[in-house]
């Protein structure tokens, strides 16, 4: 039986450093200044996914007090809050929130970056244990967590709505994500490219 391998994708949109993500959730709006200078691949990927509507209706699926609130898994799209919670607890057969991806991965950008700091309201790319395994899932840091600085890419900082981040819990939905400050012509050109397709190896 073949094994699916995810290609490493380089987004086509190159951030200009001015982009702000406006994330609308059931707990309120969150405005995040994206760090396109220090994490251009991660920011470009996040912007492309957001503009494609990838994050619309996804739910946050993991929460650890004073640590993180995690979302961005497509498995949660058609689940209600109670179903997400049940799936996380392992009592919803065949449904595993937190296992989904965008059918590709991107390169890590935290190695050798002294400005990669986990602070309250930092937005960061989640990934598996393997290098370059991040895709679409992200989390907000809920505290200063320097122990994560050399393990996960920080790609932005909340500038408004941190109280809404602190109120988020498992099952809370993202209504949508808008991007302010992007180069609209360059972004439209980037979105004209199709995303890569996973391969199969025996």
Tell how strand 28-34 and strand 68-71 pair up: unpaired
What integer best gives the mean pLDDT of the chain?
Answer: 95
Residue 137: exposure state from Cβ atoms within 10 A (0-12, 13-18, ≥19): buried
Q: What digits encode the pLDDT tens for the residues 168-195?
A: 999 999 999 999 999 999 999 999 999 8
- CB of 10 within 8 A of CB of 45? no
In this structure, the number of other CB atoms found within 10 A of the CB of residue 66 comes to: 10
Structure tokens at 180: 């302010």
Give phi and psi for 14, each to the nearest 5. -100, 115
User: Is the pLDDT assigned to residue 202 strictly greater than 70?
Assistant: no
Q: Which residue do the tokens 């898994």 mark?
A: 73
Q: Whose CA is closest to 45, among 160, 125, 165?
A: 125
Within 10 Å of residue 2's Cβ, how many Cβ atoms? 8
Judged against a pLDDT cut of 80, whether residue 199 lies above it is answered with no
List the structure tokens of 169: 């819990």
pTM of the model: 0.96
**CA-based nearest residue to 46, from 2, 97, 78, 9:** 9
Measure the CA–CA gap between 159 and 169, rounded to whole angstroms: 20
**If you classify domain 3-184 with CATH, what class do you get?**
mainly beta
pLDDT at 4: 78
- Give the angle 128-101-84 at the CA atoms, nearest 5°: 95
Q: Is the pLDDT of residue 123 over 60?
A: yes
Longest CA pairwise span in the chain (Å): 49
Q: How many residues comprise the chain?
A: 202
pLDDT in tens, 150-166: 999 999 999 999 999 99
Look up tokens 């970056």; give the residue: 113
Going by pLDDT thresholds of 50, 70 and 90, the confidence category of residue 200 is: low
């Amino acid at each position: 039986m073949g094994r699916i391998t995810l290609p490493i994708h380089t987004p086509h949109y190159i951030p200009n450093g001015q982009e702000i993500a406006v994330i609308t959730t059931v707990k309120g709006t969150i405005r995040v200044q994206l760090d396109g200078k220090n994490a251009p691949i991660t920011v470009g990927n996040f912007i492309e996914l957001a503009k494609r509507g990838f994050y619309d209706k996804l739910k946050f699926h993991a929460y650890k007090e004073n640590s993180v609130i995690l979302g961005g898994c497509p498995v949660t799209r058609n689940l209600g809050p109670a179903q997400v919670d049940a799936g996380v607890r392992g009592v919803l057969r065949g449904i595993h929130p937190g296992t989904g991806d965008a059918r590709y991965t991107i390169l890590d950008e935290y190695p050798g970056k002294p400005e990669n700091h986990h602070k309250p309201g930092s937005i960061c790319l989640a990934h598996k244990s393997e290098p370059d395994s991040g895709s679409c899932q992200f989390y907000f840091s809920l505290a200063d967590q320097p122990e994560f600085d050399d393990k996960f890419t920080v790609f932005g900082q909340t500038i408004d709505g941190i109280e809404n981040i602190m109120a988020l819990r498992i099952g809370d939905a993202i209504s949508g994500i808008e991007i302010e400050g992007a180069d609209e012509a360059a972004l439209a050109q980037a979105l004209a490219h199709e995303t890569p397709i996973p391969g199969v190896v025996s």
